[in-house]
Structure 1
Amino acid sequence: MSLRPLEMNRVYNTDCVVGMRSIAEGSVDLAFADPPFNIGYKYDVYDDQMAANEYLDWTRQWGAALVRALKPTGSFWLAIGDD
């Protein structure tokens, strides 16, 4: 995906890291993430049982992509599991 303005009221179905890397740096006011927590939860299509080092690497990737996309005054909301 190339850098381009996001269209309003449109859903983008892509890998989060790839998608966020296609967003212009410092252009996002608010990011919300509800990632899988790697606790073995049974999702319909996602295996929530990565090796710990794999999960941490993936988390660092999407975290870095998110920080790059956020404006300096942007906010980040993270949903956390309560189980």
Structure 2
Amino acid sequence: MRIVVMPPFDREFFGGRDRLELDAPTLFALVGKLDAEAPGFAEIAELRAAFAIDGVFTPDWTRPTAEAAEVILLPRVSGG
């Protein structure tokens, strides 16, 4: 599946790459694969990262991704 990496993660962890091709059965497994590509990513992912699977935001890291065409990795937004 295509992984779209949004700023600042593209520069901070992936050497400016904003597109990756990885396969993983769940978001949790995907975080592990992203960490293998960019050591240290998993340490910050829970606090700083959010994911959208085929355009739908999901906070559930156990959600299957095997059939997904695209996962977008974006910074978590907070506010009131």
- Greater Rg by CA: 1
Note whether the superposition's TM-score is higher than 0.5. Answer: no
TM-score normalised according to structure 1 size: 0.27
TM-score normalised according to structure 2 size: 0.28
